[in-house]
Chains A and B, each alone.
Chain A
Amino acid sequence: MSIAAGTPPKETFRIDMLWTDERYRSLFIQAIAMMLLMLGFAWLVSNTINNLSALGKDFDFGFLSEPASYDINQRLIEYNSRDTHARAALVGILNTLLVAFLGCITATFIGVAAGVLRLSKNWLVARLMSVFVEGFRNVPLLLWILLVMAAVTETLPQPRAFRGEETGAFVATNRGIYTPAPVFEDGGWTVVAVFIASIIGIIVFRKWAAMKQAATGEQLPVLWISLGILFVPATLVYFILGMPIRLEYPTLQGFNFQGGIHLRNSLLALWIALSLYTGAFIAEIVRAGILSVSHGQTEAAYALGLRPNRTMNLVILPQALRVIVPPLISQYLNLTKNSSLAIAVGYMDATGTLGGITLNQTGREMECVLLLMAFYLAVSLTISALMNLYNSRVKLVER
């Protein structure tokens, strides 16, 4: 059998090869998808331009530098109604971050406690925790926020009920909870600076102690030395400078309490409801994480002669955390996004300022919603970038 030598028959391009031939098919499909996407976008944009011009509106962020002329009672930075919309949005964004930060911390504590207790051998406690977890996971968050809000405003006494009583440091009224506020006098910030320096010192010390143990095997009493570094210098400086930080207690003046830190109902309701709701989800994550570490690991650690607490710290936790942390961080993300429900109780977060009053006052729906989405997207992408960093650090290295 002989095959004619020479060039192989020249393959001609036929149109049906675009979708039958592997070489062209993927390019062809993608080109079509891209074209459809572009067409769709062009259609939406042209519609929008037509609609906006029909209404005599334009696309302009200039409104941000105009005065907002509305008040925000909950604020972390200076703000009054003559400030700009941009400033109002910043106040809202800081409020979102505040409640998200507080919520993440408490939700973690609640979640870890509930998750561990649900695995407890104590029948009653395990059942109670199941009720808590199932109850909170299966009822909408908005309902919980409204319920907590109602509980705070309906069941706590009015401020005037405290007339003539010694109120002490903490006061719970139906307008919110008042706590003592620290007041910094001359030198107060020095104490804070010393305290922060001690924390950095502890980190350095622990690194050094770990290196020393690795090199010589000698173990230092790390915990006691750390506690010493944490408290002794700051306390010394505090007394040497003549107690420059004092606490200001809330006092009843007129119909309301003055002084101290005022945690408003809206913040409280949002904070408590978000913590409990997210805590229930975190409890399940923690439980799954602990269950995911096989029993053989504990037994192996005991066989090596490790004591129970070192087994927990060195063997179980690192493995459980690898399972726990990624979903935990996505719960933090959910909590941050869910904090936008603040609008239901009138807490002025980013959605309440930028997507609420500013939007209604200026009528700039397009710009406001875009900015709002950009903010949440930035937070989400930052958090997921951190999560990816963590994941790549703890990933099991396989062959």
Chain B
Amino acid sequence: MAATNAHNVAFVADTQYPDAPPPASEVGVLGWLKENLFSSWGNAALTVLSIAFLAYILPGFIDWAVMKSVWNASSLAECREIIAARHGEGATGACWAVVNERFNQLMYGFYPDELRWRPNIAFLLLVAALAPVLFQTMRPLAYAMAGLLGLQIIAFAYKTYTGAEYAIINPTLIATIAIGVAALVFQHQRGKWFYLTFAYPVIAYFILWGGVFLEPVETSKFGGFLLTMVIGVTGIAASLPIGILLALGRASNLPILKIICTTFIEFIRGVPLITLLFVASTLLNYFMPPGTNFDIVARVLIMVTLFASAYMAEVIRGGLAALPKGQYEAADTLGLTYWQGMRLIILPQALKISIPGIVNTFIGLFKDTTLVVVIGLLDPLGLTNPIRSDSAWNGIIWELYGFIALMFFIFCWGMSRYSQHLEVRLRAGDRR
């Protein structure tokens, strides 16, 4: 009856008024600040504390690491002279020149200079071998190779600028271009690329160790991130299949098999990797027939693989246990044999569930490769000692550790990001 008594009402709105804008403290930058940084007294205090912390740490750090850093010098003393000349006496800055000058050593260890194209090509092939596992088409591999090509051109430009000898036409460059072109041409034949993945261990062995028609290189020359990659990649590649078998053994209903697998897994998981490396360095030769003498890197590879497989087995066992019992029964009902059922029904699902755990194991293994320092192998951390015992770089600490930490961070963080992406991609089947 609003219309009928409109005459005795003071005012009736006959149109909708537009909404008043929200108060300035609720939208825009201010609103965001209020919502996210100063929503309560406690929050405001935390924010102020954090800002104070950042203000205390960051300016000094940036000043040291970027503003007053030196990239070109041949010794720590020269670095200090340059900094003193540029910024006055008493100024401190990062001497990244050590990374610049010892870059090759940190990457390849004592691998012979003229043969360093071989680890390069092994690395390129590793990227190519991983691409079919990581991606749906080979196009990202072509992008990756283009990026690496760009890096090499930058390196060439930098070297010629500083007046160093650098042959632009070298095996690494040719291999980069060849793999990139192959990736573009065969980008939709992902299945074919898996042959490379399976052949990779053999190829990499021949490229790195030599033999047949390549000059052999002793493993005592392996070092730096090359050694990290050799141990890490071998451990990762070998531990997955062994881990799957161990997990199946532990989850099986054959009591003796189960006891064997469980004992092995619990034993390996119960002792630190260092003790296993001690076994590699001191005991493994005792276990082999008299006269066999295989080198320390191979022994470390065996122990690291055993170590990683035990952890992998536990992760995969978790995945097997998380599957509903109906899946196992369904496989039996279809009349599949044990291995058919595992291969076609159980493992694809169990492995999918265990991806985060598997990648965590990979990351852990990759970080654990640094422990080989303890038995005297020269991985990047082990190389810091010879570098510092050189009189030119005596006393350098933060720059070396910082660089190594950054490299590990990029690798491990990249892996964990990829696993999160993979989880999302594989969950596509569960989305409705």
Binding site for B on A (CB under 8 A): 26, 29-30, 33-34, 37, 44, 47-48, 50-52, 54, 117, 120-125, 128, 134-135, 137-143, 146-147, 150, 154, 337-338, 340-341, 343-344, 351, 355, 359, 365-366, 369, 372-373, 376-377, 380-381
Q: Which of A117, A125, A138, A141 contacts B409 (CB 8 A)?
A: A138
**A-B residue pairs in contact (CB < 8 Å), sample of 11:** A30-B254, A47-B287, A117-B46, A122-B50, A123-B37, A125-B50, A140-B368, A143-B405, A147-B405, A150-B401, A340-B274
- CB-nearest residue of chain A relative to B287? A44
Cβ-defined contact, B260 with A122, below 8 A: no
B269-282 vs A, CB cutoff 8 Å, 1 = contact: the mask equals: 11111110011001
Cβ-defined contact, B290 with A381, below 8 A: no
Cβ-defined contact, B285 with A372, below 8 A: no
Q: Which residues of A contact B269 (CB under 8 A)?
A: 380
Q: Which residues of B contact A143 (CB under 8 A)?
A: 370, 381, 401, 404-405, 408
Q: Which of A48, A138, A369, A376 contacts B270 (CB 8 A)?
A: A376
Task: Kindly list the 5 A-B residue pairs having the minimum CB-CB distance in the complex, ordered from nearest.
Answer: A380-B270, A123-B36, A138-B412, A365-B282, A140-B367
Asked, given contacts A51-B285, A135-B409, A138-B416, whether A128 binds B371 with beta carbons under 8 Å apart, the answer is no
**Taking the complex as formed, is B135 at the interface, i.e. its CB lies under 8 A from any CB of chain A?**
no
Asked, given contacts A54-B290, A121-B36, A369-B279, whether A128 binds B50 with beta carbons under 8 Å apart, the answer is yes
Asked, given contacts A138-B413, A147-B401, whether A124 binds B271 with beta carbons under 8 Å apart, the answer is no
Q: Which residues of A contact B408 (CB under 8 A)?
A: 138-140, 143
Cβ-defined contact, B405 with A351, below 8 A: no
* Total contacts A-B at CB 8 Å: 148
- CB-nearest residue of chain A relative to B338? A25
Q: Which residues of B contact A34 (CB under 8 A)?
A: 256
Compute how far the CA of A137 lies from the CA of B260 in the bound complex, rounded to whole angstroms: 33
Compute how far the CA of A44 lies from the CA of B292 in the bound complex, rounded to whole angstroms: 13
Asked, given contacts A122-B43, A122-B46, A338-B272, whether A366 binds B286 with beta carbons under 8 Å apart, the answer is yes
- CB-nearest residue of chain B relative to A153? B397
Cβ-defined contact, B254 with A121, below 8 A: no
Cβ-defined contact, B283 with A30, below 8 A: no
- CB-nearest residue of chain B relative to A135? B409
B238-278 vs A, CB cutoff 8 Å, 1 = contact: the mask equals: 00000000000000011111001000001101111111001
Cβ-defined contact, B50 with A351, below 8 A: no
Q: Which residues of B contact A366 (CB under 8 A)?
A: 283, 286
Compute how far the CA of A29 lies from the CA of B249 in the bound complex, rounded to whole angstroms: 12
Q: Which residues of A contact B398 (CB under 8 A)?
A: 150
Q: Which residues of B contact A30 (CB under 8 A)?
A: 254-257
Q: Which residues of A contact B426 (CB under 8 A)?
A: none
Compute how far the CA of A33 lies from the CA of B252 in the bound complex, rounded to whole angstroms: 13
**Taking the complex as formed, is B154 at the interface, i.e. its CB lies under 8 A from any CB of chain A?**
no
Cβ-defined contact, A125 with B397, below 8 A: no
Chain B's nearest CB lies how many Å from the CB of A20? 11
Kindly identify, within residues 366 to 415 of chain B, every residue whose CB is under 8 Å from any CB belonging to chain A: 367-368, 370-371, 373-374, 381, 397-398, 401, 404-405, 408-409, 412-413
Compute how far the CA of A242 lies from the CA of B108 in the bound complex, rounded to whole angstroms: 68
Cβ-defined contact, B374 with A344, below 8 A: yes
Interface residues on B, range: 35 or more
Chain B's nearest CB lies how many Å from the CB of A139? 5
Q: Which residues of A contact B43 (CB under 8 A)?
A: 120-122
Cβ-defined contact, B283 with A365, below 8 A: yes
Q: Which residues of B contact A124 (CB under 8 A)?
A: 36-37, 46-47, 50-51
**Taking the complex as formed, is B189 at the interface, i.e. its CB lies under 8 A from any CB of chain A?**
no
- CB-nearest residue of chain B relative to A26? B254
Kindly identify, within residues 276 to 326 of chain B, every residue whose CB is under 8 Å from any CB belonging to chain A: 278-279, 282-283, 285-290
Cβ-defined contact, B51 with A51, below 8 A: no
**Taking the complex as formed, is B25 at the interface, i.e. its CB lies under 8 A from any CB of chain A?**
no
Compute how far the CA of A359 lies from the CA of B404 in the bound complex, rounded to whole angstroms: 31
Cβ-defined contact, A48 with B287, below 8 A: yes
Compute how far the CA of A394 lies from the CA of B368 in the bound complex, rounded to whole angstroms: 34
**Taking the complex as formed, is B138 at the interface, i.e. its CB lies under 8 A from any CB of chain A?**
no
Compute how far the CA of A373 lies from the CA of B279 in the bound complex, rounded to whole angstroms: 10
Q: Which residues of B contact A359 (CB under 8 A)?
A: 278, 282
Chain B's nearest CB lies how many Å from the CB of A18? 14
Chain A's nearest CB lies how many Å from the CB of B313? 15
Compute how far the CA of A340 lies from the CA of B267 in the bound complex, rounded to whole angstroms: 17
Cβ-defined contact, B275 with A373, below 8 A: yes
Chain B's nearest CB lies how many Å from the CB of A66? 20
- CB-nearest residue of chain A relative to B253? A26
**Taking the complex as formed, is B39 at the interface, i.e. its CB lies under 8 A from any CB of chain A?**
yes
Compute how far the CA of A166 lies from the CA of B39 in the bound complex, rounded to whole angstroms: 44
Q: Which residues of A contact B416 (CB under 8 A)?
A: 138
- CB-nearest residue of chain B relative to A377? B270
- CB-nearest residue of chain A relative to B360? A137
Q: Which of A135, A142, A369, A377 contacts B267 (CB 8 A)?
A: A377
Q: Which residues of A contact B413 (CB under 8 A)?
A: 134, 138
Compute how far the CA of A26 lies from the CA of B258 in the bound complex, rounded to whole angstroms: 12
Compute how far the CA of A271 lies from the CA of B319 in the bound complex, rounded to whole angstroms: 34
Asked, given contacts A122-B43, A135-B409, whether A376 binds B271 with beta carbons under 8 Å apart, the answer is yes
Compute how far the CA of A162 lies from the CA of B374 in the bound complex, rounded to whole angstroms: 36
**Taking the complex as formed, is B346 at the interface, i.e. its CB lies under 8 A from any CB of chain A?**
no
Q: Which residues of B contact A134 (CB under 8 A)?
A: 413
Compute how far the CA of A366 lies from the CA of B278 in the bound complex, rounded to whole angstroms: 10
**Taking the complex as formed, is B129 at the interface, i.e. its CB lies under 8 A from any CB of chain A?**
no
**Taking the complex as formed, is B363 at the interface, i.e. its CB lies under 8 A from any CB of chain A?**
yes
Asked, given contacts A365-B282, A365-B283, A369-B279, whether A142 binds B370 with beta carbons under 8 Å apart, the answer is yes
Chain A's nearest CB lies how many Å from the CB of B99? 15
Cβ-defined contact, B412 with A369, below 8 A: no
Q: Which residues of A contact B51 (CB under 8 A)?
A: 124
Chain A's nearest CB lies how many Å from the CB of B94? 14
Compute how far the CA of A123 lies from the CA of B38 in the bound complex, rounded to whole angstroms: 10
Q: Which residues of A contact B363 (CB under 8 A)?
A: 137-138
Chain B's nearest CB lies how many Å from the CB of A280? 12
Q: Which of A48, A52, A125, A377 contacts B46 (CB 8 A)?
A: A125
Cβ-defined contact, B401 with A146, below 8 A: yes
Q: Which residues of A contact B286 (CB under 8 A)?
A: 47-48, 51-52, 365-366
Cβ-defined contact, B47 with A37, below 8 A: no
Cβ-defined contact, A372 with B373, below 8 A: no
Cβ-defined contact, A50 with B290, below 8 A: yes
Compute how far the CA of A380 lies from the CA of B267 in the bound complex, rounded to whole angstroms: 9
B82-121 vs A, CB cutoff 8 Å, 1 = contact: the mask equals: 0000000000000000000000000000000000000000
Chain B's nearest CB lies how many Å from the CB of A240? 43
Q: Which of A29, A44, A47, A125 contacts B47 (CB 8 A)?
A: A125
Cβ-defined contact, A351 with B275, below 8 A: yes
Chain A's nearest CB lies how many Å from the CB of B375? 10
19 additional contacts (CB under 8 A) given A48-B286, A125-B47, A140-B367: A33-B260, A34-B256, A51-B290, A54-B290, A121-B39, A122-B39, A122-B43, A124-B37, A128-B53, A137-B363, A139-B408, A140-B408, A343-B374, A355-B278, A365-B282, A366-B286, A376-B271, A380-B269, A381-B270
Q: Which residues of A contact B412 (CB under 8 A)?
A: 137-139
Compute how far the CA of A216 lies from the CA of B425 in the bound complex, rounded to whole angstroms: 57
